[in-house]
Structure 1
Amino acid sequence: MSEMIYFDHAATTPVHPRVVEAMTPYLTEVYGNPSSVHGFGRKARQALEKARDEIAGSLHVDPQSLIFTSGGTEADNLAVIGGALAQQGRGRHVITTQVEHHAVLHACEYLEQIGYEVTYLPVDETGTVRMSDLERAVREDTALVSVMYGNNEVGTLQPIEQIGRFLRERHIIFHTDAVQAYGVLPLDPEHLFIDMLSVSAHKINGPKGVGALYVGKHVPISPLLHGGSQERKRRAGTENLAGIVGFAEAVRIAEAEREERVAKYKQIKAAMLARFQEAGIAYHVNGHPEHTLPHILNVSFPGIETETMLMNLDLLQVAAASGSACTSGSLELSHVLQAMNLGEERAESAIRFSFGITNTVEEAELAAKKIVQIATRLQK
C-alpha cells in the first residue's frame, strides 16, 4: 500500500517530534500545579511563564496580555462573548461576517439568544469583506467587531489593518480569529490595531487542546469560566502546562522556519494547479487569487460532488476535506462558499487541500495526478 498523502493540515497537523520531546518532562517529572507555592509548583510556574514569554514574543505583545485557553474555539468564544458582555454599557450590537469559523458564528448566535443584535457582513465572490459594508454597519451602540484574519476554507485574507484602523478611530473593540494565519504570516496585533486575537497550537504542529487569546492592555473582558484566579482572573482552571510548553516549542519552530515553509506551500500549490491546467480538466479555484493564505487551496471540480471526490481520493490514499473540519461529516453546503455566491455547482463540488510541514512538491505532483485521473473519469 502506498503512503497516505495528508492534505488536511488546516484541520489539524501532526505534532512535531521536538514538541513531543519538549512536553515529555512536563508529563513525567514536572507535575506541580503552577498555582502551588512549594518547589514543585514554582518549577511549573517558571515553565508556564517562559512559554508565555515565547508565544507573546512571536506576536510582539506583552506576555501579560495572553490568556491560555483550551484551543481556538474557546479563545474565539472568550473574545466574542466575554468581549461583548464586558462592553454592555456601550451597547448590545456586534458585527461579524458570514464567512467566520463556527466558533465565532455560534458565539454570535448565543449573543442573539441573550438579547444582542448581530450584523453578519456579506462578502464578495473572492470571500473578501467590503469596507463600505462595514462602515455602513457600524452604529453608536456597536460594542464589538469580529473579522477573521485568513479564511479556514478558502484562504482569503481580510483587509485587517484597514478594518482595525477604522474601528480604532471609533473606539470599537476589534477581534480577529488568526488561527489559520498564525505560523505562516507575521502577526503584530498592536501595529494592525487588533484588540483581541485568537491562536491555536494544533494548527502549527503543537498539541491539541491548547490555544491562546491576546487581549490588549485596556480591553475589558468578562471571564466565561469561574472557579480560580488563574490567567489573571480571566480564565479559571489549572493551566495545561505540558500543552502550553509544547505550544511554545511549536511556535519557536514555526517562527524559525516560516519563510521556508511559505515558499514550499506556494510551490506545492503551483505544482498542483499546473498539473490540472496541463491535463485540461474543468476546475475553478475558490478564494482571492492574491490575498490568500499560502497553505490553503480550495478547488471546485464541476460535475463531481464533493463527497464523491473525497471518497475517490481516500481510496487513492489522499486525505483532503470539504470546507471546515467542524462540519465535515455533514452533507451541508459550505456556508463560506454560499456567502461567496459562486453558484450551487461550485459549492457542491469544492474540495479543500491544505498543506503542512510533512508535504513535498513530489507529493503534490502525485496527488494532482490522482485527482486528474478521477476528474477525467467522472467529468465525462
Structure 2
Amino acid sequence: MSEEVKLTQYSRGAGCGCKIAPKALETILKDAWVDGKTFPSLLVGNQSKDDAAVYDLGNGTSLVATTDFFMPIVDDPYDFGRIAAANAISDVYAMGGRPLVALAILGWPVEQLPLEWATKIIEGGRSVCAEVGIPLAGGHSVDTTEPLFGLSVNGLVSNKHLKQNNSVKEGDLLFITKPLGVGVLTTAMKRGLLQSEHKALLLDTLTTVNTIGYELGQLDGVTAMTDVTGFGILGHLTEMAEGSGLTAHLQYSKLPLIEGVSDYIKQRIFPDATSRNWSSYSAGVRFEKGVNVMEAFTLLPDPQTNGGILFSVRPDSVETVIDVLKSNGLSDFCSPIGSFVQAGEKRIEVLI
C-alpha cells in the first residue's frame, strides 16, 4: 500500500483509544444493566464489565458473544483490518472460549475515501479470521463520516472453564501476556515520530490474537481473566479488583513494555484517552514512594488496542501456568506483575 495512504487523518480517535470515557459510559449505561435475574440463562451480562456476554445453552456449554469496532489506528488499510479483527476475536478467548463465526461491521465515508481501501480492510479482517479457523460470514455496512471497522464474534465455552474478570481470590498472583505501550506508540506513529525499529514490534502486538486465553481457561488455578484494551491496565485491573472486592498490588518495575515506550513518554507523546482514563480511575490508586510517578501517569492509563490477557492465578498453580506460557512462546511473561490482597483504602497500590 502506497505511503500516501493516511487513514488515521480521517479519525479523531484511534483503535480502542476512541472508546467513550469510563465516566461517560457509566452515565449512559446507568439504567441499562442486564443480568441473570431477568434472563436466568444469561451467565454474564454487562453488569460485571466483562469482555463478552455469555448465554447458557443448557448442555454444559455456553454461547460467548461480543462486538468490537473502532476507527483507524494505522494508515495501511489491510493492517487496520487485521488489528480490528484480532482485537474483537480476542474477547472470546479472554472468557476462556473459542470463536466460531464472525460478522463484519464497516462504516465507510464513501464520498471521501476509495472503496478499494475498504476492500483491503475486509481482506485484512478475513485473514485473521482464517488464522484462527473461523469464517467471516457476512456483516453490515453504513456510509459514515469517519471510517470504522470491527467484528461481531460468537464462540463457545465450557461452563466449567468460563473465566470472568470479577472472580479473583485473595492471595492470587497477577500475570499479563503482552507488553504495554500501544497507545503511546500509535500516537507517535500518527505524529510521524515512530522510529522504524519500533513499528514492527507495535504491529506484531496489535495483530496477535490472544489464543492463549483458551488454554488458560482450561486451568482451574486461573481464577479470573480479562484483556487490556481501551481503559488501560489501570482501568481493567480496577475492574478486576473492584469486582472481586480486593485490592491489587501492582509491581511497577515488573511491567513489560514495548521497546521505546519510555523514550516516547519522556517526549510527552500520549493519546487524549490517557487523560480521560486517569481522570476516571486515579482516585482509587496509591503510589509507593520511589515509583516513577510521572511516567506511570502516562503508562498505566495508556489505552491498549488488542492488549494482552490480564489474569489471576492461585499460588499453587503458578508452575502449571508458566509451562503453558512457555509452550506458547511467551517466556518473557512468566513473572507475576502483582498480587491481590484484602481490600484496603485504595483498589490499586502501585509498588516499586
TM-score w.r.t. length of structure 1: 0.28
Task: Looking at secondary structure, tell me which structure has more strand per residue.
Answer: 2
Q: Give the greater-gyration-radius structure (CA).
A: 1
TM-score w.r.t. length of structure 2: 0.29
